[in-house]
Amino acid sequence: MSSARQLPSLPLAVFRCHFETTEPLRLPAYAGSAWRGAFGHALKRTVCVVRGTECRSCLLYRSCVYPYVFETPPPPDSEKMRRYTTAPHPFALRIDPRRNGTPYKLGVTLFGRADRHLPYFIHALDQAGKAGLSRASQAFELIKVEQADAPENPIVYEPGQPLRMTPGRTPAIPALPERFEIRIETPLRLKREDHLVTPAQFGFGELFGHLLRRLSMLSYFHTDTPLEVDFAALTQASRNVPVHEPKLRWHDWTRYSSRQQTAMQMGGLLGRFELRGEDIEAFWPYLWLGQWTHVGKGATMGLGRYRIRAASLPETLADD
């Protein structure tokens, strides 16, 4: 499995958007879906020059920022996902359900080449906040954007000031601890044979298979260094990794889809479990990087977010 030890490379940039509100916050139980929907509508209003035309029928489909960010069609000559109409989107929102104060912080991580579109992200999020996340929501005023992984001045944007940012980079991989805990902080939705994985069915192979696929697709479609490893060998080996002291539960969550005009069940796993270092050496770099990418269905809106905890490990930018 020598090829399995290749370090994954996925440059990314981590941003914190600070919003102020003039009224007490009235947010849904999990605001990631609302923010993603408001951001998508604002981005399309910002960049679309052909009103009333479906994106896939538009001449600008493969050169417009909106489809790249929000629909992400695979290139015509793609060797992967040729049967699919969309590839993984090049961003993920970071929502902390426990932080609802003002100023309100919204995290955004951009993957690979997406950082070149940062001005569009900032403008669209600013417009989304001013419009409110729903008819009943208060307005948000964007007061600044920080780049959490910037080596010096973290402020990349303030109204009326020029934009300044540091190019994204792949997070450094720390030494593998003897044992560590994985804490699942937003609903984790993993599918096996078209059925969602329950706490009783969960195993490390379920988590790692989905994560490896996501990292592979993100690096293939959004960077110049696609991941080249023995996927079958890694996936097979991951099924033999034991999970220690699992404390998982199912968390039900319902969101309304304006696109499909229906309520959708978005429940998933929450909780924690322990892994031992000697069992997961080959998988460690992928697990560490997955803290920023999230894993499973709904990762773009912030679902499937986990953190790795051990006494020997440093705090990370994924902790924002």
Alpha carbons 48 and 274: distance in angstroms, whole number = 47
Q: What is the pTM of this model?
A: 0.91
Residue 50, pLDDT > 70, answer yes
**Over the chain, what is the mean pLDDT?**
88
For residues 216-244, average pLDDT:
94
Percentage of the chain beyond pLDDT 90 is 65
* DSSP designation for 46: H
Burial grade of 57 (CB within 10 A; 0-12, 13-18, 19 or more): exposed
Tokens of 109: 């991580």
* DSSP designation for 65: H
Judge contact between 301 and 308, C-beta under 8 A: no
Tokens of 12: 């990314």
Residue 35, pLDDT > 80, answer yes
* CB-side neighbour CA atoms (13 Å) of 298: 29
Token pair 């110049």 in the structure block, residue: 224
pLDDT of residue 184: 96
> In this structure, are strands 12-20 and 104-111 parallel, antiparallel, or unpaired?
antiparallel
3-state DSSP assignment of residue 232: helix
pLDDT range class, residue 2, cuts 50, 70, 90:
very low
Element (H, E) at 255: strand 254-257
For residues 197-216, average pLDDT:
96
Which of 26-40, 173-187, 277-291 is predicted with the least confidence, judged by mean pLDDT?
26-40
pLDDT of residue 319: 53
pLDDT range class, residue 3, cuts 50, 70, 90:
very low
Which of 75-79, 232-236, 248-252, 265-269 is predicted with the least confidence, judged by mean pLDDT?
75-79
The domains located in the chain, with CATH, are 12-157 (3.30.70), 172-319 (3.30.70.1900)
- The Cα-based distances of 15 to 32, 93, 264 in angstroms read 15, 10, 29
Which of 10-14, 31-35, 283-287, 310-314 is predicted with the least confidence, judged by mean pLDDT?
310-314
B/e letters for 80-112, b = 16+ CB within 10 Å, e = fewer, are: ebeeeeebbbbbbbbbbeeeeebebbbbbbbbb
pLDDT of residue 214: 96
Residue 99, pLDDT > 80, answer no
For 133-156, write each residue's pLDDT tens digit.
876 678 899 999 999 887 777 999
3-state DSSP assignment of residue 130: helix
Question: Dihedrals φ, ψ of 196, to 5°?
Answer: -70, 140
Alpha carbons 118 and 61: distance in angstroms, whole number = 19
